[in-house]
């Protein structure tokens, strides 16, 4: 194949045996160009390097065997299943291969062929392989009665892509076969690999002991040994993570250009602590120090504060707010729900009362007059601190000098919302908080341009939360338990997946159960109900009254999921718990265990799937948000874990973020070192890196001195953060 290299690469149809006919099949797999084929990785490998004869088969493991087809036939089992059976022999012994419900296999095999089978060998009444992988090595001849493999097929074995070696197994679509795919990949490698560029500079490869690109591609497809395969894999994953982290490093360099300095005067922290009835924990102080250092510097802070639910992140954010205001500027805190905004508003305005700060609440529920007044106060610099929902980022809201943007429960926000809030200031310091701990591997991938603060321990004196998972049969016991807690003076939440009963499902709903519980179960207690269908005013009233202890049991939907902080609540009952994701269950559970009383989370559910069962078990097993997060990542994978809203997760082709974390760290080291040494990737030796970044992330690294740094970045970046 001699085609001149077009800019987008050589289209796959030019490979011999593909053509316009098959090219669309490849497109379905995302393969357009020859080089896409290099990166089209096998799903798994089969070790067919050791081929045994039928007489040497040993039951119990997967093996590759070659022999002649002696007999074929389709029969029907007593159960009605159609079974195709083929018998293979080598003159001494026989093995049968069976396929269930695939009578058409009868057309594939015929007596006299020499075939290779690969699969797990079992000893039933005789040796048997069920649904083996197969290759027909020689069409043979039914009249040839020799029982030995056809001699020429042994030669074919040596040259074969399909047997006699470690064989790649690709993910495929209709009209493509493994054998065909192997042939096409082989041709692509033969014809074009020599011209493919090496992205990783020699010095990095030497330092990290990485094989070169050609070796990697050859061995990822047709590994000579498993050892080579491993080297090839490591190299490709490294390259992928390296490019990703180089983008992070560049972004971070840019973001850190210039910002505002916020100095903490002597004794500010001590004065701050006096505002609270408790002492800050060591962890809280550590995080505060990290923030203080960031805010004092002339580069903008860009920090992610991770701490489990109830770990006390709000106070830390408040210190940051204070620091901005103490320097004569404004600070904003954005939260996902109005309930949470009001709660933070109460906390912040009450705590800061002695300091005489102007704290405002901006949510869609306030009346127009108030909104207009606050809008003016923000624009004129009258208001020091504003707390609110997405109302904070509406178009007509301007700030005189917004110097700090805090986002609480960031997982509820999209990338864009974060961006817009920051854009309301010049280059404000940014603190993003999350109670869904993100495993470090994933954090480096998605928030790799941020600094991390970790709040590990919870404030002392907290009683633990005990979690039970129960079935329907325990319902009465659960009610009895709630009753006991309430009579001790405590309060309880009971959460339903829906507001109203729907005709099409059996799910219990908040409204229906509220009626039922009030009339038939807790007649002597004070019940209240809250859900997203209520008007804002009503919602707030219910929450305020519950907080004040004017009701005992709050029937709710997941509107209470984030942030709500009412220490007297000791019971959280979640109905249909199997329906929720781990992160959400953990958030819900985080609403209790906030006071000095022991708390109980009761998950009522009937898990119908393994994943649901695993989730409930994980909840009962641990209370540690980080363990839950790791588990969640494990069950759902990174894309689902992050959710589509904020995903910003770059497409990862080779690596497995969790499993290949060690490689990620190495790649990150090298990438940050690279950008440190050559911030604009001007060095010709880095040209291929530059090109790879542009191709994979659409990121153009500008080469003019002026452009890099100041000004918005030219491109959508993974994580999507721009300043």
Nearest CB to ligand ADP, comparing residues 260 and 588: 588
d(CA 362, CA 416): 19
First to last CA, the chain: 47
CB of residue 300 to ligand ADP, shortest distance in Å: 23
Binding site partner of 245, from Mg ion, ligand ADP, none, Cβ cut-off 5-8 A by kind: none
Strands 94-100 and 569-574, bridge-based pairing: unpaired
What the block records as the tokens of 700 is: 């153009």
User: Closer CB to ligand ADP, residue 269 or residue 527?
Assistant: 269
| Residue 331 bridge partners (DSSP) | 385, 404
Running DSSP on this structure, what letter comes out for residue 658?
T
Q: Based on CB atoms, which residue is closest to ligand ADP, 567 or 720?
A: 567
Q: Are strands 166-169 and 359-362 parallel, antiparallel or unpaired?
A: unpaired
- Kindly state the smallest distance separating residue 168's Cβ from ligand ADP, in Å: 48
Q: How far is the CB of 638 from Mg ion (least distance, A)?
A: 24
Residues 6+ apart with CB under 8 A from 336: 389, 408, 409, 412, 413, 562
CB of 642 vs Mg ion, minimal distance in Å? 19
Identify the H or E element spanning 323.
helix 313-326
Residue 284 interacts, among Mg ion, ligand ADP, none and using kind-specific CB cut-offs from 5 to 8 Å, with ligand ADP
Q: How far is the CB of 121 from ligand ADP (least distance, A)?
A: 56
Contact residues for 306 (Cβ-Cβ < 8 A; gap 6+): 433, 434, 437, 438, 443, 452, 453, 454, 455
Q: Which does 281 bind (CB under 5 to 8 A by kind): Mg ion, ligand ADP, none?
A: ligand ADP
Q: Looking at residue 360, what DSSP letter applies?
A: E
Min. distance of Cβ 276 from ligand ADP in angstroms?
7
Residues near Mg ion, by CB under 5 A: 563
Q: Which is nearer to ligand ADP, 360 or 458 (CB)?
A: 458
Chain centre distance of CA 551: 39
Which is closer to ligand ADP, CB of 119 or CB of 437? 437
Rounded Cα distance between 667 and 669, Å, is 5
Cβ at position 565, least distance to ligand ADP in Å: 4
Q: Strands, E, within 546-590: which ranges?
A: 553-556, 569-574
- What is the binding site for ligand ADP (CB under 6 A)? 278-281, 284, 307, 309-315, 435, 459, 565, 567, 594
| Residue 277 C-beta: closest distance to Mg ion, Å | 18
The distance of closest approach from Cβ of residue 680 to ligand ADP in the complex, given in angstroms and rounded to an integer, is 40
Judged by beta carbon distances under 5 to 8 A according to partner kind, the member of Mg ion, ligand ADP, none in contact with residue 309 is ligand ADP
Task: Report how far residue 209's alpha carbon sits from residue 232's, in angstroms, rounded to the nearest whole number.
Answer: 11
Q: Give the nearer residue to ligand ADP in terms of CB position, either 281 or 445.
A: 281
The one of Mg ion, ligand ADP, none whose footprint includes residue 426, by CB under 5 to 8 A per kind, is none
Q: How far is the CB of 456 from ligand ADP (least distance, A)?
A: 12
CA angle 536, 537, 538 (to 5 degrees): 90
Of residues 284 and 540, the one with the C-beta less far from ligand ADP? 284
Nearer CB in complex with ligand ADP: 104/278: 278
CA-CA distance, 244 to 256, in Å (whole number)? 18
Nearer to Mg ion, 300 or 563 (CB): 563
Write out the two tokens for 710: 């100041």
Buried b (16+ CB within 10 A) or exposed e, 192-218: bbeeeeebbbeebbeebebbebeebbb
Which of 281/557 has CB closer to ligand ADP?
A: 281
CB of 137 or CB of 359, closer to ligand ADP: 359
Q: How far apart are CA 354 and CA 322, in angstroms?
A: 13
Residue 717 binds which entry of ligand ADP, Mg ion, none, CB below 5-8 Å type-dependent: none
Distances (CA, A) of 155 to 148, 149, 402: 14, 11, 76
Supply the minimum distance, in Å, between the C-beta of residue 26 and ligand ADP. 50
Please give the C-alpha separations between residue 39 and each of 8, 159, 188, 348, in angstroms, as whole numbers.
Answer: 15, 24, 11, 53
Complex with ligand ADP: residue 311 or 430, whichever CB lies closer: 311
Long-range pairs for 690-699 at CB < 8 Å and ≥24 separation? 691/197, 692/199, 692/243, 693/243, 693/246, 693/247, 693/250, 696/243, 697/243, 697/244, 697/247, 697/650, 699/247, 699/250
The DSSP annotation for 222-282 comes to S-SSHHHHHHHHHHHHHHHHHHHHHHHHHHHHHHTS-----PPPTTHHHHHHTTSSSPPPH
311 binds, among ligand ADP, Mg ion, none (CB under 5 to 8 A by kind): ligand ADP
* Shortest CB 563 distance to Mg ion, Å: 5
- Please say which residue, 128 or 646, places its beta carbon nearer to Mg ion: 646
CB of 406 to ligand ADP, least distance (A): 12
Residue nearest to Mg ion (CB): 563
Q: Which helix (H) or strand (E) holds 117?
A: strand 114-123
Distance CA 430, CA 407 (A): 8
Who contacts 705 (Cβ-Cβ below 8 Å, separation ≥6)?
A: 680
From Mg ion, ligand ADP, none, which one binds at residue 625 (CB under 5 to 8 Å depending on kind)? Answer: none
- Decide which of Mg ion, ligand ADP, none touches 310; Cβ closer than 5 to 8 Å per partner kind: ligand ADP
Question: Which segments of 268-312 does DSSP mark as H helices, in order?
Answer: 268-273, 282-296
CB of 303 to ligand ADP, least distance (A): 15
DSSP 49: S
Find the shortest distance in angstroms from Cβ 578 to ligand ADP.
25
Using alpha carbons, list the distances in angstroms from residue 491 to 216, 539, 577, 593, 600. 61, 18, 20, 12, 11
For Mg ion, which is the closer residue by CB, 563 or 719? 563
Give the rounded distance of the alpha carbon of 296 from its chain centre.
Answer: 33
Selection from Mg ion, ligand ADP, none that 668 binds (CB < 5 to 8 A by kind) is: none
- Residue 279 or 484 having the CB closest to ligand ADP: 279
Residue 574 contact partner, candidates Mg ion, ligand ADP, none, CB within 5 to 8 A by sort of partner? none
94 strand-pairing partners? 89
């Amino acid at each position: 194949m001699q085609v001149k290299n077009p800019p987008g690469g050589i289209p796959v149809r030019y490979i011999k045996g593909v053509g316009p006919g098959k090219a669309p099949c490849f497109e379905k797999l995302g393969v357009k160009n020859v080089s896409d084929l290099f990166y089209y990785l096998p799903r798994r490998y089969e070790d067919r390097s050791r081929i045994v004869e039928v007489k040497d088969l040993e039951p119990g493991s997967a093996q590759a065997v070659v022999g002649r087809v002696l007999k074929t036939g389709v029969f029907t089992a007593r159960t009605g299943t159609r079974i195709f059976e083929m018998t293979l022999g080598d003159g001494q012994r026989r093995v049968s291969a069976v396929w269930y419900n695939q009578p058409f296999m009868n057309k594939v095999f015929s007596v006299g062929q020499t075939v290779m089978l690969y699969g797990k060998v079992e000893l039933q009444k005789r040796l048997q392989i069920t649904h083996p992988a197969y290759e027909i090595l020689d069409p043979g001849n039914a009249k040839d009665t020799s029982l030995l493999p056809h001699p020429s097929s042994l030669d074919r074995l040596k040259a074969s892509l399909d047997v006699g070696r470690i064989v790649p197994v690709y993910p495929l679509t209709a009209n493509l076969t493994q054998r065909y795919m192997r042939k096409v990949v082989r041709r692509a490698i033969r014809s074009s690999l020599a011209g493919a560029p090496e992205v990783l500079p020699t010095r990095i490869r030497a330092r990290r002991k990485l094989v070169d690109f050609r070796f990697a591609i050859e061995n990822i497809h047709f590994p000579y040994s498993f050892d080579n395969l491993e080297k090839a894999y490591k190299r490709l994953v490294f390259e992928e993570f390296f490019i990703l982290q180089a983008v992070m490093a560049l972004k971070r360099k840019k973001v850190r250009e210039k910002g505002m300095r916020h100095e903490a005067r002597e004794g500010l922290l001590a004065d701050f602590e006096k505002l609270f009835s408790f002492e800050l924990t060591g962890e809280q102080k550590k995080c505060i120090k990290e923030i203080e250092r960031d805010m004092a510097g002339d580069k903008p802070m860009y920090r992610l504060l991770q701490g489990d639910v109830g770990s006390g992140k709000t106070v830390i954010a408040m210190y940051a707010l204070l620091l901005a205001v103490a320097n004569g500027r404004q600070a904003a805190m954005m939260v996902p729900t109005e309930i949470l905004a009001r709660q933070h508003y109460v906390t912040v305005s009450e705590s800061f009362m002695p300091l005489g700060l102007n704290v405002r609440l901006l949510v869609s529920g306030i009346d127009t007059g108030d909104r207009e007044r606050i809008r003016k106060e923000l624009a004129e610099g009258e208001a020091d601190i504003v707390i609110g929902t997405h109302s904070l980022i509406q178009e007509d809201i301007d700030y005189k000098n917004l110097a700090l943007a805090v986002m609480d429960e960031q997982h509820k926000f999209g990338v864009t919302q974060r961006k817009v809030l920051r854009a309301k200031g010049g280059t404000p310091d940014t603190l993003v908080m999350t109670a869904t701990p993100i495993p470090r591997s994933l954090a480096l991938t998605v928030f790799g341009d941020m600094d991390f603060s970790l709040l590990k321990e919870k404030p002392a004196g907290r009683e633990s939360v005990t979690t039970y998972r129960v079935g329907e049969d325990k319902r009465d016991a659960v009610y009895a338990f709630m009753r006991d807690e309430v009579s001790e003076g405590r309060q309880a939440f009971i959460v339903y997946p829906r507001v109203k009963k729907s005709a099409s499902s059996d799910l219990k709903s908040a409204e229906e159960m509220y009626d039922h519980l009030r009339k038939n179960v807790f007649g002597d207690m004070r019940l209240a109900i809250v859900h997203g269908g209520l008007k804002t005013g009503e919602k707030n009233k219910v929450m305020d009254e519950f907080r004040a202890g004017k009701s005992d049991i709050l029937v709710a939907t997941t509107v209470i999921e984030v942030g709500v902080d009412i220490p007297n609540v000791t019971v959280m009952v979640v109905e249909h718990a199997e329906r929720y994701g781990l992160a959400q269950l953990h958030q819900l559970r985080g609403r209790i265990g906030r006071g000095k009383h022991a708390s109980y989370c009761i998950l009522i559910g009937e898990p119908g799937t393994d994943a649901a069962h695993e989730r409930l078990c994980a909840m009962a097993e641990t209370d540690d948000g980080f363990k839950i997060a790791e588990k969640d990542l494990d069950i759902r994978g990174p894309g689902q874990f992050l959710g589509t809203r904020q995903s910003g997760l770059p497409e990862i082709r080779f690596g497995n973020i969790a499993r290949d974390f060690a490689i990620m760290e190495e790649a990150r080291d090298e990438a940050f070192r690279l950008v440190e040494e050559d911030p604009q990737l001007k060095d010709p030796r880095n040209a291929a890196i530059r090109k790879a970044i542009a191709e994979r992330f659409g990121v153009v690294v500008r080469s003019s001195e002026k452009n890099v740094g100041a000004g918005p970045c030219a491109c959508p970046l993974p994580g999507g953060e721009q300043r």
